[in-house]
Amino acid sequence: MTAKQQFLRGLRFGVPIGLGYLSVSFSFGIMAVSIGFDWWQAVLVSMLNLTSAGQLAGIQIMVHPAQYAAMLISQLTINLRYSFMSISLSQKTEKKFRGIYRWLLGFFMTDEIFAVAVSQKEVTRALFAGLTVAPYFGWTFGTLLGALLGNILPNIVMNALCLAIYGMFVAIVAPDAKKDLKLLTVVGISLILSGLFYYLPLLSRHVSAGLAVSICAVLAAAAGALFFPVRETEGAA
């Protein structure tokens, strides 16, 4: 297959991802505007980050002044999974896909782009480049629409749309947790810890929400790694 054919193939694979992103980033745009961001700020955040969970946590920290360390810790924890995906995908790339191409295209490593790319026998740089196009535009354009229409839609509809992004998180976790009792236990630990950090006044008063997510996630994942080690698998979400 020529590079052009590879690119077009990737482009086609990316379309369903882009459509999915459109709806989720729409919800992100609405949320960002609802907590005080301008529409262009929401769009800029989406264009430069391209990540749902990280952005959602990020904008919640941004509204408070001077929590740069909390921002850094939350982004590193939430986005740590991308490192693993990058490592995993780096094993399947063609010879030409290295150096500057990896530095450029690494930016586009998202859960869904990774999932499609890693299912290929060999990942060429043309295919990967094509794969990123629709998701990137979907993510950016959806944010723009959400941020602009957020003010026009009735309050009750906007409210309901705020749940979309969490619906997506559930859709990623629930099916895998159902199939794997160990994962279900680890997810349960994270859920209980997160509840404690929210509802126990002693914890909620002293630990910011962004940091609490990082602490709960790291503790639960460490407990999982200790008690339920994963044997040699692809193992990426």
Partner 1 sequence: MELKQFFTYLLVMAGSTYLIRAIPFALMKKKIQNTFVRSFLHYIPYTVLTAMTFPAALYATNNLWAAAAGLLVAVLVAVRGKSLTVVAACACVSVLIVELLLMQLGQ
Question: Smallest Cα–Cα separation from 111: which of 92, 130, 133, 83?
Answer: 83
Q: How far is CA 136 from CA 44, 71, 120, 167, in A?
A: 12, 23, 20, 20
| Residue 75 makes contact with partner 1 by CB under 8 A | yes
Give residues with Cβ within 8 angstroms of 12, minimum separation 6.
Answer: 130
Among 118, 172, 203, 208, binds partner 1 (CB under 8 A): 172
Among 5, 175, 181, 206, binds partner 1 (CB under 8 A): 175
Among 65, 95, 152, 202, binds partner 1 (CB under 8 A): 65
Q: What is the Cα–Cα distance from 3 to 127, expressed in whole angstroms?
A: 8
Q: Rounded to the nearest whole angstrom, what is the least distance from the CB of residue 173 to partner 1 in the complex?
A: 5
Tell me which residue has tokens 């941004």: 62
Q: What is the Cα–Cα distance from 92 to 8, expressed in whole angstroms?
A: 20
Q: 118 to 157, contacts with partner 1 by CB under 8 A?
A: 155-157
Q: How far is CA 198 from CA 149, 223, 226, in A?
A: 31, 20, 25
Q: Give whichever of 11 and 109 is closer to partner 1, judged by the CB atom.
A: 109
Secondary structure (3-state) at 73: helix
Q: Rounded to the nearest whole angstrom, what is the least distance from the CB of residue 43 to partner 1 in the complex?
A: 12
| Residue 181 makes contact with partner 1 by CB under 8 A | no
- Binding-site residue total for partner 1 (CB under 8 A)? 107
Q: Rounded to the nearest whole angstrom, what is the least distance from the CB of residue 81 to partner 1 in the complex?
A: 4
Q: How far is CA 48 from CA 44, 45, 139, in A?
A: 6, 5, 11
Among 11, 32, 56, 117, binds partner 1 (CB under 8 A): 56
Q: Rounded to the nearest whole angstrom, what is the least distance from the CB of residue 87 to partner 1 in the complex?
A: 5
| Residue 201 makes contact with partner 1 by CB under 8 A | no
Q: Give whichever of 6 and 27 is closer to partner 1, judged by the CB atom.
A: 27
Which residues are 123's β-sheet partners? 93
Among 6, 14, 18, 24, binds partner 1 (CB under 8 A): 24
| Residue 99 makes contact with partner 1 by CB under 8 A | yes
Q: Give whichever of 1 and 76 is closer to partner 1, judged by the CB atom.
A: 76
Q: Rounded to the nearest whole angstrom, what is the least distance from the CB of residue 131 to partner 1 in the complex?
A: 14
Q: Rounded to the nearest whole angstrom, what is the least distance from the CB of residue 64 to partner 1 in the complex?
A: 9
Query: What number of helices (H) and strands (E) belong to the chain?
Result: 12, 0
Give residues with Cβ within 8 angstroms of 88, minimum separation 6.
Answer: 114, 118, 234, 236
Among 78, 116, 127, 129, binds partner 1 (CB under 8 A): 78
